[in-house]
Structure 1
């Protein structure tokens, strides 16, 4: 049905939750936005947008939008005062959306595959944090999209587990591999040099983590255990680089919470035993991460200060990132035998007003990852291993990986930074 009627199922004031990125049920979301005024207003919790209909000026005033991130079109919603941010660790999202949580879901909109031979429908493109809400929501509305793959490991639903369903045949929103600038590629090469053969990889979303994956083509027997699986990871698997042969858990299988890529990735995932989707309760489980063989966590940042505090949320006064799963994975990598907890970023960024420096004496945004975590900071100018380092050692090592034009200014700030850090 092109325009499903959701009004019989959704009540005024309901909290509505759905899958993010490529797992977003776009037809149901479009219907919700079109019918929100008739329903009487709702609260929605959303994640990373791919090609989402939830964008200005299409969001009615009666729709109260919440998210954990400011990625993509979410940034414009937040700047316009139409998005409320929840700065929570990714591992906490299932509890927040489940019964008794701060955003307990009344209604879940879910995109699923056609039925398999047993009559069950795969979540297909994302199990992730939202599927936990399926078990406690009053209403579950399914969009059965014949473009969605049947993915091994992903949760499956039978018709008796949803309230109502609508059939669609619509292209899935895609997240193509981003273009990579020269400075990002230079950072990626330094990060790749820290990855040992046989390591288990976690990687975030964006140009830098994908650039790192592209630099790993000469490695052997890498494994994947990540919140997301993308096209670049697919190419490593197809090239025989990411075999998962040395993984402690899920040996030979790439594990992720969601797919964020193109149709090539979706087609590859269909009934492919080399991949498995898992819920956030598994992908971000501290015990699972600590048990992973040489877990290397690769996460980007907006800026890092001289003591190792990381801002991954706000840039230029705009909320564009997330607290997300970085701390979950960085802690997991630090606890993993032979693991490496990496935060990577170019030393500068081009803005409308010129070049800005990203290794700074003081953060311009919130502390997303505190200096108390074990971290290895990487820029195109070097590697600052802060694990076990004193405050003075941290400042010295961070200045060494800053842009050369910024080092003198940072050096002059060092005494003040240390005095403040010790206070």
Structure 2
């Protein structure tokens, strides 16, 4: 790696860098380098077959029709990549998020070419990765070729940088960065958030998944004090809580005074807040999801979501109606760490129903993403089932109590049939 050639987008011929059979990776969600992805898609027939390793999609840049020349693999079918999962063209890699850097380094997930979106150089000549560190830096270290997209909309964030002289080529882009605004909060999410907020102690360190529920929880924490943040992602509502003095990281135990994340998934509001913010750092997945690091946090409160949970606490976060629409992700990394942490709270939250169907079920319709031995507190709008230390019979009663009332009798009958 390292010629640092600037190439005009109109003159970019990716066949100079990509070989037949290569595997390519780029940033997730807001970190997608849109101009490079669009060029790759437009030129895809020139490389014979290539493959991409995908995370959370941001801008619908990759469509099911592009499977005519691209093999699509990934750890998640989140965001715009749900369409790939629904079309059956995404080949999932079920793995814990914490494992991805090591899988890339060992070439069990081979990466040959990296597309990365960066900020313009600062006075020292360094470009910030700004929106994502996660597994990108590991991929850059082990790839044959790195192509950068320089975008003035990318904030300068401490934690991951590069020099343009050290990449193989770079392009200038003025495309707007993908916005991931805070989600819309409905009555069920609001009720769940209030229940969770009632259990979060001042001084706790937060980890949150993505989607409407984590946003609702953050909104419900406005009255708390000295919260910390160590999470795989952050967005607009984290920025709001920092500005409100709720998240200070003062009692965090590690990285005191600094919010740590692997990926920024917000709107322009988050990017403005993040730019040159000395109280924010992006870090690799091998740090944000590292068990030894998480063990040093204060009162780690892990708040994740699920597709469905059975009456014994088994959690499916991957498959809906036979279609891969989620991920194993980082939930179990954080749930185990929170369970082992003094004062920690391992939480999984979900509305009790979706489209009239119960999401508390007698038997999962998909895989066990998190085993019942790692289930902690399951939260719906109807209450909290703290499964820690409970027997199977006790769990059944606790889970029925947080199911939607109209589904409880059927669930109880189904549970009795299984026990017999």
**TM class by shorter-chain length?**
over 0.9
How far is the alpha carbon of 1:317 from its aligned partner? 2.5
Match of 1:261 among 247, 251, 266: 266
State the partner residue of 1:80. Answer: 87
| Aligned residue runs from structure 1 range 167-178, under 5 A | 167-178=172-183
- Equivalent in the alignment of 1:377: 378
Aligned counterparts of 2:304 and 2:190: Cα–Cα separation in 1: 15
Instruction: Identify which of 92, 97, 114 aligns with 2:104.
Output: 97
The offset of 1:418, in angstroms, is 4.2
1:27 shift after superposition: 0.6
- Aligned equivalent of 2:4: none
Whether the 8 Å CA contact 1:302–1:312 is kept in 2: the answer is: yes
Q: 1:95 offset after TM fit, Å?
A: 1.7
RMSD: 1.3
Match of residue 415 from structure 1: 416
CA contact (8 A) 2:111 2:139 kept: yes
- Determine whether 1:35 maps to 2:36: no
Contact 2:51 2:71 in 1 (8 A): yes
| 2:409 is the alignment partner of 1:401 | no
Q: Tell whether the 8 Å contact from 2:55 to 2:76 is kept in structure 1 after alignment.
A: yes
Alpha-carbon offset, residue 374 of structure 1: 4.1
1:49 aligned partner: 57
Q: Which moved more, 1:299-308 or 1:75-84?
A: 75-84
User: Residue 196 of structure 1 aligns with which residue?
Assistant: 201
2:60–2:81 Cα contact (<8 Å) kept: no
SS in 1 for 2:43: helix
**1:16–1:45 Cα contact (<8 Å) kept:** yes
CA contact (8 A) 1:121 1:158 kept: yes
Counterpart of 1:357? 358
Cα separation, 2, equivalents of 1:417 and 1:240: 50
Query: 1:49 aligns to what SS in structure 2?
Result: coil
Q: Tell me if 1:319 matches 2:327.
A: no
Aligned partners of 1:394 and 1:289: how far apart in 2? 28
Classify the secondary structure of the residue corresponding to 1:265.
helix
Shift of 1:149: 1.0
Q: What is the 5 A alignment of 1:114-125?
A: 114-125=120-131
The yes-or-no answer on 1:331 pairing with 2:336 is: yes
SS of residue paired to 1:372:
helix
Name the SS of the counterpart of 1:149 in structure 2: coil
Please say if residues 229 and 247 of structure 2, whose CA atoms lie closer than 8 Å, have aligned partners that are also in contact.
yes
d(CA) in 2 for partners of 1:149, 1:79? 33
1-side partners of 2:39 and 2:297: how far apart?
A: 42
How far residue 77 of structure 1 moved from its aligned partner, in angstroms, is 1.3
Evaluate the alpha carbon distance shift between residue 236 and residue 418 of structure 1 in structure 2; reply closer, same or farther with a 3 A threshold. Answer: farther
CA distance in 2, matches of 1:35, 1:60: 13
Q: Confirm or deny that 1:6 pairs with 2:11.
A: no
Per-residue CA distance 1:310-345 (angstroms, 9 max, x = gap): 011112332211110000111111111100000001
1:23 maps to 2:43: no
Per the alignment, residue 163 of structure 1 pairs with: 168
Question: 2:224 matched to which residue of 1?
Answer: 219
Distance 1:16 1:88, change over 3 A: same
Post-superposition shift, 1:185?
1.1
- Corresponding residue pairs, total: 412
For the residue of structure 2 that corresponds to 1:218, the secondary structure is coil
| 1:113 and 2:113 correspond | no
Q: Deviations over 1:264-305 (max 9, x none)?
A: 111111110121101101000001111110000000111100
Residues 270 and 284 (structure 1), Cα distance of their counterparts in 2 relative to 1, 3 Å cut: same
Query: In the alignment, what sits opposite 1:183?
Result: 188
CA distance in 2, matches of 1:286, 1:66: 26
* 1:132 counterpart residue number: 138
Separation in 1 of the partners of 2:399 and 2:346? 16
Distance, in Å, in 2 between the alignment partners of 1:131 and 1:418 is: 49
Whole-angstrom distance in 1 between the partners of 2:364 and 2:90: 23
Contact 1:392/1:418, CA 8 A, preserved across alignment: no
Q: If the length of structure 1 is used for normalisation, what is the TM-score?
A: 0.95
Residue number in structure 2 paired with 1:65: 72
Normalising by structure 2, report the TM-score.
0.96
SS at match of 2:73: strand
Whole-Å Cα distance in 1 between the matches of residues 212 and 77 of structure 2? 16
